[in-house]
Amino acid sequence: MIRSTKNFWTGLIYIFFGSSAIVLARDYGMGTATKMGPAYFPSILGGLLIIIGIISLIQSFLQSRTPIGKFAFKGMALVLGSAILFGLLVRHTGMIVALPLLILISAYGSNDFKWGTSILMAIGLTLFCIVVFLKGLGIPLPIIGPWFGG
Amino acid sequence: MDLFHNLAIGLSTAISLANLLYCLIGVFVGTLIGVLPGLGPTATIAMLLPLTFALQPVSALIMLAGIYYGSQYGGSTTSILVNLPGEAASVVTTLDGYQMAKQGRAGVALTASAVGSFFAGTVATFIIAFFAPILSEMALKFGPAEYFSLMVLGLVASVVLAQGSLLHAIGMVILGLLLGLVGTDVTSGTQRFNFGIPDLADGIGFVVVAMGMFGLTEITRNLEQQESRTIMAKITTLMPTKEDWKRMIAPILRGTAIGSAVGILPGSGSILGSFAAYSLEKKVSKNSAQFGKGAIEGVAAPESANNAGAQTSFIPMLTLGIPSNPVMALMIGAMIIQGIQPGPSVITEQPVLFWGIIASMWVGNLFLVILNLPLIGIWVRMIMIPYKHLYPAILAFCCIGVFSLKNTEFDIFFMALFGFLGYIFSKLECEPAPMLLAFILGPMMEEYLRRAMLLSRGNPLVFIQRPISATLLTLALLAMLAVLLPSFRKTREELKE
């Protein structure tokens, strides 16, 4: 019976990363203790991580801890999704579309989202970013992208 | 005397018009993020780092340093006025600061905090100026074995102070070390863990990791629990009474001493110092009955301590090239980007930079007193900005900032990935700070391990045969054992509450 879901999942994550490191490192050449190859250090670390993961798994059956809190899927999806969407779009549509989208989508994650203020904010921030980052600091992002003939 | 000669060089750098301006920008931004909800110095410095590429190295570092210690001032303002700590280090200030505000003494509390911080900042500046050269000289004798052991100690210290399970914190460190190894192996030229993605040839950018795990994760977490802020207190007078001054002096002195000492320890920074100073004051003060009910000592001591600690935590970074907290890790990154190899040679090879940063801290503290006392009205209005209007802007700046690092949208995707990982880990109560430190140290540790083992012809005993290395490892072991002691465990848990 699992008594600490936190320890259980952390253990699994550590075992996953630890064993991935060891498996991937097999292609790199171990070397010797005197002349360590590229696989040496990561393999040691991977091994340690697996051991810690296993201990954590064992603990999960012995120690009780508060259960994992609820995931805020909506907030997470909107925040991370809007960032990814911005990355996908910005070169094609330019800032003028990608940035307002980022702001509106992420703002939608707030408990009291209002269209009016959010649209105003999107316009203001987009202008600000274009002036400061693109014009002022010369970051090479298009204002209007090729999809809109820019 | 050498000390004053060096400080004079530094001061002449720090008060050049351009550097004064960058220092002012730094402390202004620092105070701002301290006051604003949900934005910490780590995420801010990560966000602004790309903008500093174009600056002179000394100006860039002066500004970034200003953001860090400036945020300590701003953080206490919100603690006092709205009972919400702006920064982790000002958590204890809420206990008595907010009580004072409720009694109509908000202004006095703000003055106590600013005066204490200024005094502590001044003393800490001299402490850095005095100890940094000594430590640098010592560190020049360090071989690879000593460096490796020093890094072990630094990582252990960060683990000891981390929240949640000790075992999981160690796991986070190892995971951080592993992630730091992604990319080209310097010695053999082998591409490691890059899944054939050419963008990963130089490894995962630490700014990408920092922005993901500190910027995006924080936004997501804050969206879960949206707070409303109301200022209960009005600021009437800033001037403490004669009685207040008298009661402030000793706590400020003690707070400064504790904060400075604790700040130097790797892995701690300013948070531990403020807690330690508060509990000491509570024990030794004549007015200990008033603590928690608006005792001025309970504001002056921790505020002095956190500012002193914020500054002395620069010592390991400046002298050894080893970060003691995530902010220092970013400063090291900033140096590397500017073409400066962090380490003990910085002081001799870049004296203007080194002393310029140190002197600028004193100048910055002076700015901060002005910004935080006469101009307090500005910040009071800033406190009221609701988080829902802030975070889309933070997100936008993160995306544009991370893109501008290498002009690739790939980094935005990776930032989102680390935001996701960071959120999962925060749910599992695994702290990201030790991971970020390990991430920066990973490649360096591997190099030092290799060199040490090469020199010792594969004999791992080299780490305990060399006295300095053995001492460092013993300290690391003791720190680890201390956590397992029941009494330490109890205090550690109390601190985090």
Q: What residues of chain B lie within 8 A of the CB of A69, using their CB? A: 427
Q: What one-letter code names the amino acid at B467?
A: P
Task: Answer yes or no: do A129 and A108 share one domain.
Answer: yes
Question: Is pLDDT at B207 greater than 60 in this prediction?
Answer: yes
Dump pLDDT digits (tens) for B27-50: 999 999 888 877 788 888 988 888
The confidence score (pLDDT) of residue B25 equals 94
| Test the B interface: residue of A22, A43, A44, A45 with most B CBs within 10 Å | A45
Q: Which residue of chain B has the CA closest to A100?
A: B396
Q: Establish if A134 belongs to a structural domain.
A: yes
The confidence score (pLDDT) of residue B189 equals 84
- pLDDT mean across residues, chain B: 86
- CB of B360 closer than 8 Å to CB of B14: yes
End-to-end distance of chain B based on CA atoms, in angstroms? Answer: 46
Helices and strands counted in chain A (H then E): 5, 0
How far apart (Å, rounded) are the C-alpha atoms in residues B200 and B446?
19
Confidence of residue B237 (pLDDT cuts 50, 70, 90): confident
Our CA dihedral for A16, A17, A21, A22, rounded to 10 degrees, sits at -40
Non-local (6+) Cβ contacts of B211 within 8 A are B43, B46, B47, B398, B401, B402, B415, B418
Q: Which residue of chain B has the CA closest to A16?
A: B175
- CB of B307 closer than 8 Å to CB of B296: no
Q: In Å, what is the CA distance from A41 to each residue of A51, A120, B291, B424?
A: 16, 52, 51, 26
How far apart (Å, rounded) are the C-alpha atoms in residues A108 and A75?
9
CA angle B47, B48, B49 (to 5 degrees): 95
Task: Answer yes or no: do A58 and A84 share one domain.
Answer: no
- Residue from B219, B39, B402 nearest A139 by CA: B402
Non-local (6+) Cβ contacts of B196 within 8 A are none
Contact call for A79 and B419, based on CB within 8 A: yes
Task: Answer yes or no: do A103 and A78 share one domain.
Answer: yes
Q: How far is A128 from chain B (nearest CA, A)?
A: 10
Q: Establish if A67 belongs to a structural domain.
A: no
The count of domains in chain A is 2
- CB of B318 closer than 8 Å to CB of B58: no
The confidence score (pLDDT) of residue B488 equals 62
Nearest CB among B396, B403, B429 relative to A6 is that of B429
Q: What residues of chain A lie within 8 A of the CB of B174, using their CB? A: 18, 45, 48-49, 52
| Test the B interface: residue of A41, A99, A126 with most B CBs within 10 Å | A41
Task: Answer yes or no: do A26 and A50 share one domain.
Answer: yes
- CB of B166 closer than 8 Å to CB of B429: no
Mean predicted confidence (pLDDT) in B221-243: 75
Dump pLDDT digits (tens) for B253-304: 999 999 998 888 766 556 778 888 888 888 888 888 888 888 899 999 999 9
According to DSSP, the residues that pair with B183 across neighbouring strands are: B192
Contact call for A88 and B453, based on CB within 8 A: no
Our CA dihedral for B196, B199, B202, B208, rounded to 10 degrees, sits at -120
Confidence of residue B497 (pLDDT cuts 50, 70, 90): very low
Confidence of residue B381 (pLDDT cuts 50, 70, 90): confident
| Structural domain spans, chain B | 2-496
In the block, which residue shows the tokens 């863990």? B193
Contact call for B389 and A117, based on CB within 8 A: yes
Task: Answer yes or no: do A28 and A85 share one domain.
Answer: no
Q: How far is A98 from chain B (nearest CA, A)?
A: 10
Task: Answer yes or no: do A105 and A144 share one domain.
Answer: yes
Contact call for A79 and B168, based on CB within 8 A: no
Q: Which ipTM was obtained for this model?
A: 0.94
Joined together, the tokens standing for residue B339 give 């073409």
Q: How far is B397 from chain A (nearest CA, A)?
A: 8
- CB of B101 closer than 8 Å to CB of B109: yes
Task: Answer yes or no: do A77 and A143 share one domain.
Answer: yes
Q: Which residue of chain B has the CA closest to A88?
A: B409
- Residue from B34, B36, B26, B87 nearest B58 by CA: B26
Task: Answer yes or no: do A93 and A39 share one domain.
Answer: no
Contact call for A56 and B193, based on CB within 8 A: no
Largest Cα–Cα distance of chain A, in whole Å?
A: 66
Question: Is pLDDT at A60 greater than 60 in this prediction?
Answer: yes
Q: What percent of chain A has pLDDT over 70?
A: 99
Mean predicted confidence (pLDDT) in B66-90: 83
Dump pLDDT digits (tens) for B308-318: 988 888 888 88
Dump pLDDT digits (tens) for B112-165: 999 999 999 999 999 998 888 888 888 888 889 999 998 898 888 888 777 778
Contact call for A25 and B192, based on CB within 8 A: yes
Segments forming the whole domain that contains residue A95: 73-148
DSSP per-residue codes, B160-186: HTSSS-HHHHHHHHHHHHHHHT-EE-T
> What are φ and ψ of residue A52, in 5° steps?
-60, -40
Mean predicted confidence (pLDDT) in A78-85: 95
Q: H-type helices in B373-485, by residue range?
A: 376-383, 387-406, 410-427, 432-455, 462-465, 467-484
